[in-house]
Chain A
Amino acid sequence: MAMMQGPSVSNVEDIVVCRNVHKWYGEFEALKGVDLDVKTGEVIVILGPSGSGKSTFIRCLNRLEEHQEGRIIIDGIELTHDLRNINEIRREVGMVFQQFNLFPHLTVMENITLAPIHVRKWSRERAEELAMQWLTRVGIPEQAEKYPGQLSGGQQQRVAIARTLTMQPRILLFDEPTSALDPEMIKEVLDVMRDLARGGYTILAVTHEMGFAREVADRVIFFDAGQIVETNHPSEFFTNPKEERTKLFLNQILHH
């Protein structure tokens, strides 16, 4: 199981470096100068009101969205128009979406092994072996031959996580991975995420699961109107936030 351990934590350089990142959608400025450094193995939870630019920000990190100003450097490679850089970075950065985005015409096993075989150029055997290990780790090895449409939401999201992790990324991006799930399925996905957070991965997660944030986050980042308003340790953040806006936000979501 050695290959399933997360990347080693010995490298403590900043694996993600963002400097003054700006992003416009037409006239609308969605990111207004974001600065953030993330150390290898760090777990970061991103909070903020809807429309504050959380998704936009983490989607810039694997170039699903293009930033127009500032610099983003992932593991020493800067994101530019250069397609080779983008592809290299996408191999390092895995993403899990709110809507799972599994490929409905492929079985679970094919969903997971397609990218390792064609992007990483692994043999089918190697890809399937690792896929099976990840399916086991997320707790659904018996679903390998089913199609996504035959699984529950929680199972689908766990397949999506296994699909992302079989590509052996070093950085994981989660965009509200539990928001589309029924309450009884949230826990099974959070358990997997907790497991990963302790496994040495560098994680940036947008999530409103406060329990998760308290338990495993090294830092909590609060976004508002396209800017980082507060960065804090989770215990401080929830009990004693520095900023007025953070307090307001926490009041709203904790006492609604």
Chain B
Amino acid sequence: MTTLTNTIEERRKTFFKRFNWQYFLQDNLTGSRWLTIWVAFITLVTVGVFVGQLGSAPGWTLILTAVWAVGILMVVAGELFGLHTSFSRWLKDNLLSSISNTLVTLLIILLVAQVVSGIWQWGYVTATFDSTRTAPDLRSEGATWGVLWGARKLILTGTLAPEHTWRVILTGAMVFVLWLISFIATRPTVKTSMGYLQRISITLWLLAPIASYIFLAGLEYHEPFINIRTLLTGLVIVVAFMALLWFFKVIKLDPVSIGLWVAAWPIGYVIWQLIARTGIFPTINVDEWGGLLLTVIFAIFVNILSFPLGILLALGRRADVQGIPVWIVWPIALIATVYLLSTSTPELWTTSRNNVERALALWPLLIPIAAYFYQRSFQGNMVQAFSVLFIELIRGVPLITLLFMAIVMAPFFTASGSAIKNFWAVIVGYTIFSAAYMAELVRGGLQAIPKGQYEAADSLGFNVLQKYRFIILPQALRILIPPLAGSVIGTFKSSSLVALVGMFDLVGIVRGIIGNGQWLGLRSELYAFLFVLYFVVSSGVSWYSRRLEKRMGLGTR
């Protein structure tokens, strides 16, 4: 015991030898005029807030202030007697490192407590949770959470007919099971003992879109059971699917497996037709999808489609292909100009009503100008010219304009003139927009790969496809994980813009619910719910991207 007091006494002495009041004051208070003013100011504010809260909630204010004081004592004890614990050291480094920081800490504690208690009061203490008592005259002064349960159908699936709800649940369950399988398949122990599980899970994931489509959009039965056109179309899809699997190294291409795959399609087709004939999954109008369902479908669709499209555009923008030579471009441009001047211009000229329209009738003269810029900027490089034009045009237009244009202009692009659904039009418009931005991200990633990597690949004899597949893209995509995750989150969040073109996604439907008699004006509850939902999903994506980055970071410098 005596030795302990001795050591403490010794430490205290050495401490006071090192500790200098003058330095302490100078560092914390009198070092500069601004520091003094700042400390005085923060003291005033803190004392003001403290006194104010002491009046409204004395118990909590005193308890929190006491906790703060104990923290200070711990730090002082640690400093004075060298009795730091890891916790008190953390306190000292992060919260209580100087007089002004100590005061700011108390201020933040008090303010946070106030906000939290306010939310707690509104969201729990005075709130009601009964979904049958949501009408305006039955509400309490707090939150009316019953709306979330009462309007659950609308929130989850929007205007989708209730008899289809089970199909949405089935899709959700399927995705969950798939996720579980791939989660198990990627465990290190399972990976080595049952390597095939991973192949199965990748294959199932690639089949999942087809199954989801059947569940959510349904199948229409067409009379001839065997339809040649459909069979051929399907064959093309199967071959593309095969190429994809081969690309992800799931399968090897040998004659036997090619035969099996090709044969698989007719069988799949028959199954498809059989399912259609049972009528278990009757067709649903895709424009009926709404609520969370629509938001999720948008996010997944657009992100999955725009990713490869973005990569292609980025590669296109850097493509170094042999340009179309001048002696081909100019004759074609001139012949086209002369031809159109002799056919289109007289026609437009005769129907023109004013000078502007007459000037517009001379539009073929723009062709040589375009040809000039095409030669000058791209040296005839078609791929590059197309990519650059596409990316820059799309990036120069606000998303909402693009969405309106997609819906308004979609009928012009379809053969039948009107058959295209708003949903598909918006998907196309949104994907194009997202791809243009993604292309620029990917281009940044490609530029970050040192020139030597390209040269090493070239000198070893890889062709262009192999070079990008094995060497450039794996490295570029790893760098790109954080910005790509940002883009995925951005796409998810701004999908709420489709509410403005009359679609009832999560935000659109919530606006509808707020305007509905029974739930009229329950803004705070519904937007709080949206806040939490979007936050959880976005931070989930961002957490996953960090994990992915770590996992792919193996061995990189």
Inter-chain contacts of B478 with A (CB < 8 A): 105
Give the distance in Å from the alpha carbon of A45 to the alpha carbon of B557 in the complex.
Answer: 33
* Majority secondary structure of chain B interface residues (helix, strand, loop or mixed): helix
Interface centre among A97, A104, A106, A146 (most CB of B within 10 A): A104
Q: In this assembly, does A91 line the interface, its C-beta being within 8 Å of a C-beta of chain B?
A: yes
Please name the residue on chain A nearest to B472 by beta carbon. Answer: A103
Q: In this assembly, does A4 line the interface, its C-beta being within 8 Å of a C-beta of chain B?
A: no
- Other-chain contact of A64, B453, B458, B556 (Cβ < 8 Å): B458
Inter-chain contacts of A97 with B (CB < 8 A): 452, 455-456
Which of A29-37, A112-120, A215-223 makes up part of the contact surface? A112-120
A–B complex contacts, Cβ < 8 Å, 20 sampled:
A95-B459, A97-B452, A99-B450, A101-B452, A103-B471, A104-B555, A104-B556, A114-B470, A118-B462, A118-B470, A119-B460, A119-B461, A119-B462, A146-B555, A147-B555, A148-B555, A148-B557, A149-B555, A150-B555, A167-B460
Please name the residue on chain B nearest to A163 by beta carbon. Answer: B460
Give the distance in Å from the alpha carbon of A107 to the alpha carbon of B460 in the complex.
Answer: 17
Within 8 A of A (CB), among B115-137: none
A203 CB to nearest B CB, Å: 15
Please name the residue on chain A nearest to B466 by beta carbon. Answer: A118
Extra contacts besides A95-B459, A147-B554 (7): CB < 8 Å? A91-B461, A97-B452, A101-B450, A106-B555, A118-B462, A150-B555, A167-B461
Inter-chain contacts of A102 with B (CB < 8 A): 456
Please name the residue on chain A nearest to B458 by beta carbon. Answer: A64
Q: In this assembly, does B444 line the interface, its C-beta being within 8 Å of a C-beta of chain A?
A: no
B322 CB to nearest A CB, Å: 8
Asked whether, in the complex, the Cβ of B556 is within 8 Å of the Cβ of A115, the reply is no
A126 CB to nearest B CB, Å: 16
Asked whether, in the complex, the Cβ of B556 is within 8 Å of the Cβ of A105, the reply is yes
Asked whether, in the complex, the Cβ of B474 is within 8 Å of the Cβ of A115, the reply is no
Inter-chain contacts of A101 with B (CB < 8 A): 450, 452-453, 455-456
B475 CB to nearest A CB, Å: 5
Asked whether, in the complex, the Cβ of B459 is within 8 Å of the Cβ of A64, the reply is yes
Please name the residue on chain B nearest to A89 by beta carbon. Answer: B461
A138 CB to nearest B CB, Å: 17
Q: In this assembly, does A246 line the interface, its C-beta being within 8 Å of a C-beta of chain B?
A: no
- Other-chain contact of B475, A90, A105, A114, A118 (Cβ < 8 Å): A105
Q: In this assembly, does A68 line the interface, its C-beta being within 8 Å of a C-beta of chain B?
A: no
Inter-chain contacts of B475 with A (CB < 8 A): 103-105
Q: In this assembly, does B463 line the interface, its C-beta being within 8 Å of a C-beta of chain A?
A: yes
Asked whether, in the complex, the Cβ of A149 is within 8 Å of the Cβ of B460, the reply is no
Give the distance in Å from the alpha carbon of A99 to the alpha carbon of B459 in the complex.
Answer: 14
Within 8 A of B (CB), among A118-132: 118-119
Number of residues of chain B lying within 8 A (CB) of chain A: 22
- Residue-wise, chain B 465-493 has the 8 Å CB interface mask toward A (1 for contact) of 01000110011001000000000000000
Inter-chain contacts of B466 with A (CB < 8 A): 118-119
Please name the residue on chain B nearest to A98 by beta carbon. Answer: B452
Q: In this assembly, does A155 line the interface, its C-beta being within 8 Å of a C-beta of chain B?
A: no
Give the distance in Å from the alpha carbon of A105 to the alpha carbon of B475 in the complex.
Answer: 7
Give the distance in Å from the alpha carbon of A114 to the alpha carbon of B557 in the complex.
Answer: 20
Q: In this assembly, does A62 line the interface, its C-beta being within 8 Å of a C-beta of chain B?
A: yes
Please name the residue on chain B nearest to A116 by beta carbon. Answer: B460
Give the distance in Å from the alpha carbon of A115 to the alpha carbon of B457 in the complex.
Answer: 8
Inter-chain contacts of A53 with B (CB < 8 A): none
Asked whether, in the complex, the Cβ of B556 is within 8 Å of the Cβ of A90, the reply is no
Q: In this assembly, does A177 line the interface, its C-beta being within 8 Å of a C-beta of chain B?
A: no
Inter-chain contacts of B554 with A (CB < 8 A): 147
Inter-chain contacts of A146 with B (CB < 8 A): 555
Q: In this assembly, does A234 line the interface, its C-beta being within 8 Å of a C-beta of chain B?
A: no
A6 CB to nearest B CB, Å: 19
B464 CB to nearest A CB, Å: 9
Inter-chain contacts of A62 with B (CB < 8 A): 458-459
Give the distance in Å from the alpha carbon of A147 to the alpha carbon of B555 in the complex.
Answer: 5
Give the distance in Å from the alpha carbon of A114 to the alpha carbon of B453 in the complex.
Answer: 14
Give the distance in Å from the alpha carbon of A118 to the alpha carbon of B463 in the complex.
Answer: 10
Asked whether, in the complex, the Cβ of A115 is within 8 Å of the Cβ of B455, the reply is no
Asked whether, in the complex, the Cβ of A90 is within 8 Å of the Cβ of B460, the reply is yes
Inter-chain contacts of A149 with B (CB < 8 A): 555-557
Inter-chain contacts of A87 with B (CB < 8 A): 461, 463
B403 CB to nearest A CB, Å: 38
Inter-chain contacts of B450 with A (CB < 8 A): 99, 101
Please name the residue on chain A nearest to B469 by beta carbon. Answer: A118
Give the distance in Å from the alpha carbon of A236 to the alpha carbon of B62 in the complex.
Answer: 94
Q: In this assembly, does A94 line the interface, its C-beta being within 8 Å of a C-beta of chain B?
A: yes
Inter-chain contacts of A63 with B (CB < 8 A): 458
Give the distance in Å from the alpha carbon of A72 to the alpha carbon of B543 in the complex.
Answer: 54
Asked whether, in the complex, the Cβ of B455 is within 8 Å of the Cβ of A64, the reply is yes
Within 8 A of A (CB), among B485-536: none
